[in-house]
Structure 1
Amino acid sequence: MAARIFIDGAAGTTGLEIHQRLSGREDVELHRLPDELRKDGDARRDALNTCDIAILCLPDDAAREAVGMIDSDSTRVIDASSAHRVADGWTYGFPEIYGRNAIRKARFVSNPGCYPTGFLALVAPLVREGLLPADWPYSVHAVSGYSGGGNALIDRFETEGDLAWRGYGYAMGHKHLAEMQIHAGLAHPPLFAPAVVDAMRGMVVEVPLSLRAMPRAATAPELRNALAAHYRNSSIISVSTGKMPQELLLQRGAAPWDGMELFVFADMETDQVRLVARLDNLGKGASGAAVQSLNLMLGREETSGLELSA
């Protein structure tokens, strides 16, 4: 019997891409409200309480409202907003960090943010293994495709023809910081420097390290080997262990991709290291991660419906 899936917020970028990954599958039955009922409270309440799994692709306040509408004990939830990423009673939907069984058994799953996905993939396993200190003041530099900013930012980049780069978060206090700190097990929130570039999709997240200045830090080869060991059984996350590339690129016309590549660039003479993650902000950073969690919650193959050809 097909599982009944309701995507609340299916008209947004994340919802549309989730729908694309699920359409055509015989093991799920997609339920979408017609446009005239998308904001109808009664219609949404009925859909939320009659589905097997609801995927919330909504602003934070609307996501909290949707959860409050659920009376059925059998409805499970994947929330793609940032409303519940550090909330009690919610399982963080990063199976490579928290384990696949945790997602399989969960009723409420919070989808990781796109920037935290890259940061946590790099840092969380190394801190957990004691190879990097938990009390270090880490920095995160990242660029993302403009689709991560929703329809307003998409329109801005596509209508302002000369807009090439947008830096933001200069007031500090970005909403991703708590998520990064808590799920990496850090004593302090990292210093986060995000930016948006003139590409629809794609993301590079970088954590620079000066190992010589850090107490209790492993060597660059030890960091690389530890990451490779941690993700050795993953079909989604890969660690580059061969010859390092001289450059990393984001392509304006990139196709959807649900994988992620990790790199450990190092200068052995200075002990300087750049931990780098490359991913699709709409893939493993959003829609692909939601589908991955959905697959686990339904007891399906983890990679079903994912786009993994780089």
Structure 2
Amino acid sequence: MSPRIFIDGEHGTTGLQIRARLSERRDITLLSIPEAERRNPALREDMLNAADIAILCLPDDASREVVALLAGNDTTRLIDTSTAHRTAPGWVYGFAELERDQAAAITAARHVANPGCYPTGAIALLRPLRDAGLLPGDYPVSVNAVSGYSGGGKQMIAQMEDASRPDAISAPHFLYGLDLTHKHLPEMRTYGRLPRDPIFAPSVGRFPQGMLVQVPLHLDGVSAETVHAALAEHYDGQDIVTVAPMHESAALKRIDPTELAGTDRMVLHVFASPDGARLNLVALLDNLGKGASGAAVQNMDLMLQR
């Protein structure tokens, strides 16, 4: 019998994308609750207990309730796409390229926490530099980012796409998180190996999918070539996360945040001022690809290797 996969919350933005990725596959059996029955708790519990892997596309509290519900179940493995368990003990962080043994840890895991879209880009840039000793422990890190509006879920999608709504958003771009708190900060700090929270400035653009994450740096005595080499070595042999050659990045005049929309890839760039004193590290990805649904499917495939 093929592995049984249940998407709990398949009618939300992330769940719909995961379902679209899995619907044509013949190597798995996709368990599904008809939309008319999605609030049937008994049917949902049956599906959770029958699944080999359940992918949770739920709010934080609902994800915690599922974990409690399955406390006596030792067969269903979980991938949680919410923020509820990303830094929780006993959960493996689902960024397979984080370090050399991370993919193997995901393969063996019972519980996997899918990364957030913004942290995926930030950690991809920061972790190799911290591991290589290029980013001082006391460095005041800042992260600037813009995401497609699909990251805000169905309500924001409707606000952006339906101008007749009373709560419609007319701005072409807006900044938020102005109180410098954000639910993604704990995982950025934990997996970026930062001693304190970064200053994080997220924003939303008027495009459905796509993302740019920037980490600007002043690294005295550390060249752009050294930073690029650390990133290239860390991701050597990877096919989902790649590092653009420096000459290709240097030739760019602009980057379109939608360039990788519809893909599960992430491309990292290193930009430098002419004197080399200032750097801007950039991650380009799809907020629903490598930033959410694509990462969940990647983690599922790793878990199925066990």
User: What band does the TM-score fall into relative to the shorter chain?
Assistant: over 0.9
1:272 is aligned to 2:278? yes
Q: Which amino acid aligns with 2:40?
A: D
Q: Secondary structure at the match of 2:140?
A: coil
Q: Secondary structure at the match of 1:85?
A: coil
Partner of 2:166: none
- The runs of 5 or more residues in structure 1 that have no matched partner are 301-310
Partner of 1:263: 269
Q: Which amino acid aligns with 1:235?
A: D
Q: Segments of 4+ in structure 1 off by > 2 A?
A: 160-163
Deviations 1:182-229 (A, max 9, x none): 0111101100000000000000000001123xxxx6321111011111
Q: Is the 8 A contact 1:48 1:69 kept in 2?
A: no
Partner of 2:253: 246
Q: Is the 8 A contact 1:132 1:218 kept in 2?
A: no
Offset at residue 37 of structure 1 (A): 2.3
Task: Report % sequence identity.
Answer: 50
Query: Whole-Å Cα distance in 2 between the matches of residues 187 and 268 of structure 1?
Result: 30
Larger CA deviation: 152-161 vs 55-64? 152-161
Query: Whole-Å Cα distance in 2 between the matches of residues 35 and 83 of structure 1?
Result: 25
Q: Is the 8 A contact 2:50 2:76 kept in 1?
A: yes
- The runs of 5 or more residues in structure 2 that have no matched partner are 164-168
Offset at residue 162 of structure 1 (A): 3.2
1:152 is aligned to 2:155? yes
Offset at residue 172 of structure 1 (A): 1.7
Task: Give the 5 Å matches for 1:14-163.
Answer: 14-70=14-70, 71-98=72-99, 99-160=102-163, 162-163=170-171
Instruction: State the number of aligned residues.
Output: 295
Q: Is the 8 A contact 2:4 2:28 kept in 1?
A: yes
Q: Secondary structure at the match of 2:281?
A: strand
Offset at residue 173 of structure 1 (A): 1.7
Query: Whole-Å Cα distance in 1 between the matches of residues 74 and 214 of structure 2?
Result: 41
Instruction: Indicate the RMSD between aligned Cα atoms, in angstroms.
Output: 1.5
Query: Whole-Å Cα distance in 2 between the matches of residues 64 and 36 of structure 1?
Result: 24
Q: Which amino acid aligns with 2:69?
A: M
Offset at residue 255 of structure 1 (A): 4.7
Offset at residue 104 of structure 1 (A): 0.4
Q: Is the 8 A contact 2:261 2:285 kept in 1?
A: no
Offset at residue 268 of structure 1 (A): 4.6
Query: Whole-Å Cα distance in 2 between the matches of residues 102 and 45 of structure 1?
Result: 27
Offset at residue 251 of structure 1 (A): 3.9
TM-score (norm 2): 0.93
Q: Is the 8 A contact 2:242 2:266 kept in 1?
A: yes
Query: Whole-Å Cα distance in 2 between the matches of residues 250 and 184 of structure 1?
Result: 23
Query: Whole-Å Cα distance in 1 between the matches of residues 195 and 274 of structure 2?
Result: 28
Offset at residue 134 of structure 1 (A): 2.6
TM-score (norm 1): 0.92
Offset at residue 148 of structure 1 (A): 0.2
